[in-house]
Chain A
Amino acid sequence: MTRQLLTGNGAAAWAARLAKVDYVPAFPITPQTEIIETLSAWFDNGEIPGRMTTLESEQSMITAAGAAAITGVRVFTATSSQGLLYGMEMLYTVAGWRAPFVMINVSRGLSAPLTLEPDHNDILAARDSGFLQIHCATCQEVLDSTLIAYRLAEHEKVRLPVIVNQDGFYLSFTREPVEIPDPALAARFVGQFDPENTQLRASAPTSQAVAVLGGSPYSYFRYELHLAAQQALDVYDEVAAEFAEQFGRDYSAIESYRIDDAEFAFVMMGCFATKAKEAVDRLRDIGWRIGLVRPRLLRPFPEQALHDALADKKAIAIIDQNISMGKGGVLHTEVASALYGAKAAPLLTSYIGGLGGRDISQEELFEIANQLKQAVEKGSAPPPRLLYTAGELREMRKLQAIAHVERQELKLGEESDNDQGEGND
């Protein structure tokens, strides 16, 4: 099999092509736009059949994606950050319709202040929407996960939309060697979309957007959605095993790296986790027993797998590239829930790092490992920490000094205006 250099965005577009998608509703947003640009060029020059429509917003785009999926065509779409949030109402709605399709989210930090660079607060805002979530760490994984996602979304036990997440810049604009699966093999793996009873037709109108009054029918529908999401755990394992058999690449629900004999572990999501792999290797070089666990699936949450991988460790550092205001790292909370009640449960330490694309250095990962060791010696975990240095605060102070001077100038300006006003009286 030959490999070629592809960005994460290029890999996502290739996955849509290999999955033979019929319909792509689209709306541009940095750093996702390259995906729809690539697909639109292929549609335009006839390399792939199907249809792309540009919509006037992400809210309409997700509505179109859900509506098309329930007519029985295979749908692909992509967004990022503010776009995902703009479509948030429809995320919950189309998941409620049980409309199966795949959407790529290219993670980017949320406003305010506005940024272009990545963190996971955008995708985590969609955590409870009913969309399943697969988080990727390499460009190859973006392509492969998207193929797996179609199988998962369209499976009769599941039938839910799936988001495949990749980090902006660090994957979306980064080229790596990617093996593009043979189109015939990929098509056979993904298979035909069997929409079962969901074939909405213009000639035979049905309603997806039913209203229910009273909590009882509402509870039924919402809990069925939850049960379907839970079923997706086993289905994912089956589909991933089949993928591994056919293509030789293993994508279990959690990635475990050098974890079996480890006393300590890093837990991270997304492509910054590969940085922690590097740190694990360097720490192992000098005798540490440390590993990495990376949840690929966030919804459904692979609770048992995380428990099994982590419960016997001495201490774990959960590094969240997100922040829940007034609580802290989201993954930290989730991992804690998976480990609660475990006998001799490990000490959990919480770090917030990589917000808005802020780098996490190897030195910081080494230092986190040292803090784990110290926590075990002390028998208690240190308080949660933002990865942020004195040098960064100094730079921030310089910016604030400029802002302060402006405020003073503004204030003095107002005062002199007032003085003139008094003089005129």
Chain B
Amino acid sequence: MYRIRFHGRGGQGMKTASRILSNAFFLGGYEVQDAPRYGAERRGAPIFAYVRAAKQPINERGIINRPDLVIVADDSLVAIPAAGVLQGIGPQTVLMINSHEAARTWEERLNVPGQVLILPVTEEVEDRAELPFLGTTCAGAAARLIGIIPLEHLQQAIRDELAHLGTEIVEKNLQQAAEAYELAAEYAGKVIEGTEISAQDYAKPEWIDMPFEVASISAPTIHTGLTSELAATGTWRTMRPVIDYQLCNRCWWVCSEFCPDGAITVDDEGYPQIDLDQCKGCMICVAQCPPHAIEAVAESVAQLAEATEATEATEAVGDKS
């Protein structure tokens, strides 16, 4: 059985990618199963989708723990443990990451047993959740890596799955998928169908007897508001609000009041300060600010600017010494 996982952010088309791939398998006579998995149904939140394909009826269900192929549409997810990108990667697993960085860099950084490949399609766009055609691109690359899916089945699957979007969008997706299919030609057939777990030789589950604990410990109570501070929801952000203090009229309340996460405080001089560990990037402040002093900047662009600034600052210190 082939077991494939697609990781991305809500809005990047991972559910679509899984549906295209599974449909393409199905057209080739495979039994298939595809499903998305998301917690919060929200743009920009980490999601994954998975595909199983086999010549026999599929009885396995749920999350794939031993993937043959993992496709990562957004490399910023790799560092988020909750996204589970690296879960169950073994020596046979192919891990394909959409990234500017080299495969070797990722191999050294991650130190995982599988083989890392790069899908070089990252483009700079305003909002990462709007990377165009990323879903079909990932499906196209996956189809070629698997090696047994002919291009015409991939194309038919795209027509089936995206028909509701109209001819023009379908055509663009077909083109993107074909390019990705071509791009991955070098590694065609790299993905190997995984085996089943043997009932003879398996890792025994480490079951425990659940200990009794009193309700003051075991009730699902959040005792203080601090839990939300401890979860750095800033990692969810795909867009960052940036304040132009020249334009800020120190109204002292609008942006901070409207912030649904209480992530904006106002300092003694009446200037708002955004807590970027907590700001989820909803951009409500951008919409509300009366003098339009807050700008929405793509998070990737903002991070790059920060890194450049930091380097320049270090160099400046170096010059002085």
Interface, chain A (partner B; CB < 8 A): 5, 30, 112-113, 116, 169-170, 173-177, 271-272, 274-275, 277-279, 281-283, 285-286, 288, 359, 361-364, 366-367, 369, 385-391, 393, 400, 402-403, 406-407, 409-410
Contact = CB atoms under 8 A, between A and B. Distances in A.
Contacts of B166: none
B207 A274 contact: no
Contact of A409 (B60, B63, B226): B226
A365 to B, nearest CB: 9
B83 to A, nearest CB: 16
Contacts of A407: 223-224
B199 A170 contact: no
A170 B198 CA distance: 24
Nearest to B62: A359
A271 B199 contact: no
B59 A278 contact: yes
Contacts of A272: 61
Nearest to B207: A389
Contacts of A400: 217
Contact of B35 (A174, A367, A390): A174
A359 B205 contact: no
A349 to B, nearest CB: 13
Nearest to B40: A116
Contact of B31 (A173, A177, A275, A364): A177
Nearest to B210: A386
A374 to B, nearest CB: 13
Given A288-B199, A389-B206, A400-B217, A406 B26 contact: no
Nearest to B31: A177
Interface size range of chain B in the complex? 35 or more
Contact of B224 (A30, A369, A409): A409
Task: Find the residue from A175, A279, A363, A389 having the highest chain B CB count within 10 A.
Answer: A175
Contacts of A169: 35, 37
Contact of A410 (B31, B200, B220, B223): B223
Contacts of A174: 33-35, 61
Contacts of B33: 174-176
Contacts of A364: 205, 207
B23 interface: yes
A167 B207 CA distance: 25
Interface string B61-80: 11101000000000000000
Contacts of B60: 274-275, 278
Interface in B23-63: 23, 26, 31-37, 39, 41, 58-63
A286 B199 contact: yes
Nearest to B223: A407
Contacts of A177: 26, 31-32
A355 to B, nearest CB: 12
A285 B205 CA distance: 21
Nearest to B41: A30
A363 B203 contact: yes
A406 B226 contact: yes
A389 B205 contact: yes
A366 B37 CA distance: 26
25 contacts: A5-B23, A174-B34, A175-B34, A177-B26, A274-B59, A274-B60, A277-B59, A278-B59, A278-B60, A279-B199, A282-B197, A282-B199, A285-B199, A366-B197, A366-B199, A367-B205, A367-B207, A385-B207, A389-B206, A390-B208, A402-B227, A403-B223, A406-B224, A407-B223, A410-B224
Contacts of A387: 205, 207
B210 A388 contact: yes
A5 B32 CA distance: 9
B19 interface: yes
B109 interface: no
B267 interface: no
Contacts of A173: 35-36
B34 A402 contact: no
Most chain A CB inside 10 Å of its own CB: which residue of B19, B61, B204, B224: B61
Given A5-B22, A275-B59, A275-B61, A286 B200 contact: yes
A409 to B, nearest CB: 7
B48 to A, nearest CB: 12
B202 interface: yes
